[in-house]
Structures are given as C-alpha cells and as structure tokens.
Amino acid sequence: MKTCLILLSAGSGTRMGLNRNKVFFELSGKSVLRRSLEAFRDMVQEIILVHRPADKALILREVEKAGVTIPVHLVHGGETRQDSVRNGFRHLTWQADDIILIHDSARCLISADLVRRILEKAGQTGAAIPGIPVTNTIKKASPDQIISTVDRSTLYEAQTPQAIRADWLDRALVRAEADHFQGTDDASLLEHCGLPVSLVEGEKRNIKLTSREDIPMAEAFLSNLNLPRIGHGYDVHRFAENRKLILCGVDIPCEKGLLGHSDADVAAHALMDALLGAAALGDIGRLFPDTDPAYKGISSMILLKKVVSLLKENDFEIINADLTIIAQQPKLSPWIGRMVETLSKTMEIDPACLNVKATTTERLGFEGREEGISAHAVCLIRKITPFGRN
C-alpha cells in the first residue's frame, strides 16, 4: 500500500489581484507551493503536481527549493478542479488500497498532525476529509430576501487534504463523468456514488488563500514561527608550539598558537555553533568533520561564510551575536575592534550587531594555567518574512 498526493496548483492569482499564479506568492519568505510541498514531502511516496503549462519552470524551481526527494510528476490541469484531479489520478499507477491525498496548494498552512489524522482515518474507513463546524448563523436567501434559517448543528466547512482509497476514487471519477456530475470537492463525488466519507476535525489555520484579505491572516498564523530563536556555542582548543593564534579571523602575535584540524579559531567555532544551534541545523562537527582533509588548515572565516549562507538558505537572518573569549594570555583587548570588523564583513552584518569580549580566569582552570583558550557565543536569529521584520 502506498500513499500518493495529488497537489492542485493550476489556479490563477486573479481573485487575489496577482498577475501570476497565487501558489508562487511568498508568505514569510517561502512560496505557498513550497510550503505545501514541505508539508507533505515526508508523508507520501509520490507527488502528482497538477499545474498550468505556462508555470512549469517556476513550479520546478519551487520543487527543488522544497528539497523533495520522492518522485514528483508534473501533470497539466483541466478546465475544472474535477478535471484536474482526474488528469492527476490518471497519471498514477495504483492498487486498490493505495490512499490518494488530494490537496489544494493554496491551503499551505496545513499541519503534519492533520495530514496524519486524515491518513489514519482513511486507512481505516476508505475515505476521510477534514471539516470544521460552521459557527456563523446560515441563512437561505434570494439575493435580497431571507427565505429561512438553516440548522447549522450538522453543517461543516470541508477542507483538504481529502484522502480516498484509489479504487473508490477511480469509481467515483468514472461515475461522475458518466452522469455529468460536477462536485466542488472530491468527497462529493464519493457521496454521489453512495460511498461513505469519514469526517476528521479540521484546523482553523488550514485556510485556503483566496483573496488578498487572507494574506494578513495567514501571516498571523505563521507569526508564531517568527519569534526570535536563541543559540549557544562553546569551544576549547589547547595551546601548541609552532601554530598561529587566530581568533575571530584575526592573526594575533603570540609565541604559541592553538591546535586543531582547521585554523583552530576557537571563537569563530563557538560562534558557528551558536548560529547553527539557533537554526536547529546541527553543529560544525557534523557540517565540517575533522576527518575530512578538505578542512585541514582551512580558515574558519570560510566555514563561517558557509554557515551564514546555510542560515540564509533556510530563511534565517541574524539579529545579533555576543562572544566571550576566555584566555589568560595574550592580552586581547587591542585586537577586539579588528575581530568585530572581520566577523561583520565575513557575516555581512552590521558591526553594531556583534560584540566580542575577552576575559581571564584569574589564573584558575586550564585557561588560567595557559593550557588553552575557550570561547562562548550566544546569538539571536529570526525567520525572514516578506513584509520585513516583525
């Protein structure tokens, strides 16, 4: 049994007043399509991406950005949503009990939890869709005259993803075509065939981006992801003869240097670990293993540049960083200005966002005995949003 996703991305941006497909609109630094792809990439084995022929190049770019490693097939959309689903489904090789998820790309705030619950329910019952209870009073009306009030206690707003057994979806699509039946969602085709559809509690945040007013709402749902993130890094290197002493990229005159696979810039190492920590991207040991000859003797400023690029690729920007170098000797205060300058140039950030300080340990501990130097770093970073900083 496999799980496949048909991702409907063939819409236009006209209702949002955009001159291009709304799936390319960026929310908090990522396109709507990329967000949808990221939500499903680890949950399914195959993706059918239904799109407009004119969008192909942009679609491929977003698939690449989303880091999808499972097969993605591009299929052209049809006249109606139902035609698009049919086109997508006809492209699949399926077995009866495979589960097909059908999702509107415009619902890009979908949570992994909801996808899991829908899949679990559909696995048990054959078909499941998310719905949220209607909370407004619903009136039946002619354009300007109320006819009656509808009992809302059994009314739900349907969302996607809708999960359906492959053989049921096949049956429903064939029957709808034969009967010239048009449904506004996939469950309605099953209902038309008399097939049961289970209801799973949907999510308020799983909104469908339709008009411009939906954008600030989507941003608000995403804003809790934009809280600043803190990171901490710590490193120690021992002194050794015949080595240079490099701290924050600055070559400091000293009779001893620090031992290490790279240039042993203990302060830069602590800073990189703080940045990676804040972004939840691991640590420098994992990124630049000291078993790799490529990093032998390498300047830590090259590594720092790589770390900063990695954060950028993940849509993070650096707010500030603060470093403490713990060394009994040499005296570092004359070099602090150059350290800040070197780091800020390498990281391409304002020097006012960076602080480097040095302290001794009053001759206590390994630093005090002049056996080595240690460094601590903390930093704050945040996700970039399309509306600037929040």
Give the HSE-up count for residue 314: Cα atoms under 13 Å, Cβ half-sphere: 16
CB of 235 to Mg ion, least distance (A): 4
CB of 375 to Mg ion, least distance (A): 9
How far, in Å, are 236, 237, 304, 332, 377 from residue 251 at the CA level? 18, 16, 16, 11, 20
Q: Report the alpha-carbon distance of residue 73 to residue 41 in Å, rounded.
A: 13
Residue with tokens 């929040």: 390
**Neighbour count for residue 223 (Cβ, 10 Å):** 14
Amino acid identity of residue 130, one-letter, is: P
Pairing of strands 257-258, 316-326: unpaired
Question: Which is nearer to Mg ion, 62 or 235 (by Cβ)?
Answer: 235
CB of 286 to Mg ion, least distance (A): 13
**Neighbour count for residue 87 (Cβ, 10 Å):** 17
Residues 188-247 that bind Mg ion (CB under 5 A): 235
Q: Report the alpha-carbon distance of residue 309 to residue 311 in Å, rounded.
A: 5
Question: Which is nearer to Mg ion, 228 or 285 (by Cβ)?
Answer: 285
Q: Report the alpha-carbon distance of residue 214 to residue 211 in Å, rounded.
A: 6
Question: Which is nearer to Mg ion, 107 or 269 (by Cβ)?
Answer: 269
CB of 229 to Mg ion, least distance (A): 23
Residues 250-289 that bind Mg ion (CB under 5 A): 269
Question: Which is nearer to Mg ion, 46 or 235 (by Cβ)?
Answer: 235
CB of 237 to Mg ion, least distance (A): 6
CB of 373 to Mg ion, least distance (A): 10
Q: Does residue number 30 form part of the binding site for Mg ion (CB under 5 A)?
A: no
Residue with tokens 């559809």: 197
**Neighbour count for residue 102 (Cβ, 10 Å):** 26
Residues contacting Mg ion: total by CB under 5 A: 2
CB of 260 to Mg ion, least distance (A): 6
Q: Report the alpha-carbon distance of residue 161 to residue 117 in Å, rounded.
A: 11
> By the criterion CB under 5 A, which residues form the site for Mg ion?
235, 269
